[in-house]
Amino acid sequence: ENTSLQSQPSPEEWNYGATAAHVSQGPFVSVSKSVPPRRDYLIAAVLCYGNLINFMDWFIVPGILLDIQKYFELSDGNTGLLQTVFILCYMVAAPIFGYLGDRYNRKIILGAGIFFWSGVTLGSSFISESYSWIFFLSRGLVGIGTASYSTIAPTIIADLFEEGKRTTMLSIFYIFIPVGSGLGYVLAAGMAHATDDWHWAFRITPCMGVLALVLLILLVPHRTQRRTAAHRALSISGMIRVAAEKPGVHRTAKTTWCQDVLSLAKNWSFVWSSLGLTAMAFVTGALGMWVPLFLYRAQIVQGLVTPCLQESCSSSNSLIFGGITIGTGILGVVAGAEAARRLRKINNKADPLICAASMFISALCLYVALMVAQTNILLTFIFIAFGELFLSVNWAVVTDILLYVVTPRRQSTAIALQILVSHLLGDAGSPYLIGIISNAIQAKHAQSFQWSFWSMQYSFIICAFVGVFGGGFFLLTSFYIEEDRKEAER
């Protein structure tokens, strides 16, 4: 196989992305695995490391939100807009990278994305207070870069491993969402505290990105999409033998992007699980952006801290919240994957039912956390931790649902569309919406620390109700999951 940058497979051999497989004309398929299993795990480790950096960059801004808000003199609404700009650019770019990932060399796309977003992150650390619009623009550009990674990397892991190990490896991959998010808080807060300058928080992940790029170039082969897809074809060798033996049965034909989208829109398991993920994204986006600032305002109302009037404010809430995010994320993803593995043996609808139950419990925990925030900060931390724990249960399970209800040749497109919908209706708007509601409440009352806290508390309640809707969407998924899985296998 030609692995040069410019060369493409011949039209007779080319199928899209995850299902490109060379089918022989004889009655049997012979596919050799050119890369040993140990190399597959090494490739997965490199992709996990990249995912860690990806989500660290996502949550550097929330980790030092108070400092950035003061530096650029932003209102709550405009502060929330920072994350909204990031997510909007991320979700608009995702379908483009999904299209490219299903058709072209995924390694090159990943490498270009890492290089781009790391460079923009580094550049944003040198922006002065009089150019806040450039800072907003830089966050949008980082969102475009990270979209390439989130869209394509999971499909490579899915191609490397068969179904049993695939769930485990995807679980490990998605553990780095909460771990990276939490480390983003910790890194931002720690660097701001150590240097007395929040700009340094944006100068660490670019160095990590350079290492990720080097590892990607050295360890990930150009031909992953073709070799691993052929390997996957062995698991359905009976179907391929039929295609080779019977003239009336043909290999999978190329389809246009519009045909792929139309097919996915008829897949109700994909539709409802994507809406459930949208509710998850709404809640996690709002929590990730505002929780440290909300806790800071609650502590002021309780008299535990004094209002910050200096240039660099205490970041203890970001450090604690970052630690909670890491711990609950690891535990939640592992628990979700293990629960799914065990319950699938007795119930074919286990995956969506697990997601539904965890969303309902998470919504309840978050509501309790908001209600006790004014009187007991410790209980607030505890219930926020439980809320995040049950949200994290769903990360790997939702992706695994997509991978077995969508035919492999549409998986990059499906992931891209899921990213688009979940972010468009989820965390693209939730940080800004919370900030706008908070501004509106404060505008109707005299300015005070008490109303500053109440405005954030009242606006946060919407997250609990959205979580309940998310649980309902996953319940609807359970009605269609068996039929859609069989259809994807056919």
> Do the Cβ atoms of 440 and 419 come closer than 8 Å?
no
- Structural tokens at position 279: 């509710």
Q: What percent of the chain has pLDDT over 70?
A: 84
Over residues 42-47, the mean pLDDT reads 90
Q: How confident is the model at residue 173 (pLDDT cuts 50, 70, 90)?
A: confident
Rounded Cα gap, residues 328 and 337, in angstroms: 14
- Structural tokens at position 211: 């290492």
Rounded Cα gap, residues 441 and 194, in angstroms: 36
Q: What is the pLDDT of residue 223?
A: 57
Q: What angle do CA 330, 367, 456 make, to 5 degrees?
A: 100
Q: What is the mean pLDDT of the chain?
A: 80
Phi first, then psi, for residue 93 (nearest 5°) are -75, -25
> Do the Cβ atoms of 135 and 79 come closer than 8 Å?
no
Rounded Cα gap, residues 197 and 191, in angstroms: 8
* DSSP-based three-state secondary structure for 137: helix
- Structural tokens at position 412: 């990059």
Q: What is the pLDDT of residue 313?
A: 64
Q: What letter would DSSP give residue 35? A: S
Q: Is 102 exposed, middle or buried (0-12, 13-18, 19+ CB in 10 A)?
A: buried
Residue with tokens 């299209």: 99
Q: Is 257 exposed, middle or buried (0-12, 13-18, 19+ CB in 10 A)?
A: middle
Residue with tokens 């600032």: 293
**Per-residue pLDDT tens over the stretch 316-329:** 788 888 889 889 98
Phi first, then psi, for residue 437 (nearest 5°) are -65, -40
Around Cβ 445, how many Cβ atoms within 10 Å?
12
For residue 398, give the nearest of 265, 271, 268, 277 by alpha carbon: 277
For residue 290, give the nearest of 450, 430, 163 by alpha carbon: 430
- Structural tokens at position 247: 């003239």
Least confident of 23-37, 39-53, 108-122, 165-179: 23-37
Q: Please report, to the nearest 10 degrees, the dihedral formed by the alpha carbons of residues 204, 210, 212, 214 taken in order.
A: -160
Q: How confident is the model at residue 156 (pLDDT cuts 50, 70, 90)?
A: confident
Residue with tokens 């319950």: 343
Rounded to 10°, the helix 163-195/316-343 angle is 180
Rounded Cα gap, residues 9 and 20, in angstroms: 10
Q: Is 364 exposed, middle or buried (0-12, 13-18, 19+ CB in 10 A)?
A: middle
Residue 457, amino acid: Q
- Give the contacts of 293 (CB within 8 A, at least 6 positions apart): 65, 66, 69, 317, 456
Rounded Cα gap, residues 130 and 301, in angstroms: 32
> Do the Cβ atoms of 480 and 269 come closer than 8 Å?
yes
Residue 299, amino acid: Q
Q: Which of 135-144, 195-204, 251-260 has the highest mean pLDDT?
A: 135-144
Q: What is the pLDDT of residue 246?
A: 42
Where does 257-489 sit in CATH, by number? 1.20.1250.20
For residue 484, give the nearest of 266, 300, 251 by alpha carbon: 266
Q: Which CATH number fits domain 36-225: 1.10.10.10, 1.20.140.10, 1.20.1250.20, 2.70.170.10?
A: 1.20.1250.20
**Per-residue pLDDT tens over the stretch 102-120:** 777 888 888 888 999 899 9
Rounded Cα gap, residues 80 and 433, in angstroms: 8
> Do the Cβ atoms of 382 and 299 come closer than 8 Å?
no
- Structural tokens at position 227: 């070799």
Higher-confidence position of 295 and 151: 295
Higher-confidence position of 323 and 249: 323
Max Cα distance, the chain (Å): 81
Least confident of 143-152, 364-373, 470-479: 143-152
Residue ranges, comma separated, of all CATH 1.20.1250.20 domains in the chain are: 36-225, 257-489
> Do the Cβ atoms of 64 and 195 come closer than 8 Å?
no
pTM of the model: 0.71
Q: What is the pLDDT of residue 227?
A: 40
Around Cβ 385, how many Cβ atoms within 10 Å?
19
Rounded Cα gap, residues 85 and 423, in angstroms: 11
Please spell the DSSP secondary structure of 212-233, one letter per residue. HHHHHHHHS-TTHHHHHHHHHH
Q: What is the pLDDT of residue 224?
A: 54
Residue 154 has, within 13 A of its CA and on its CB side, a CA count of 33
Q: What letter would DSSP give residue 1? A: -
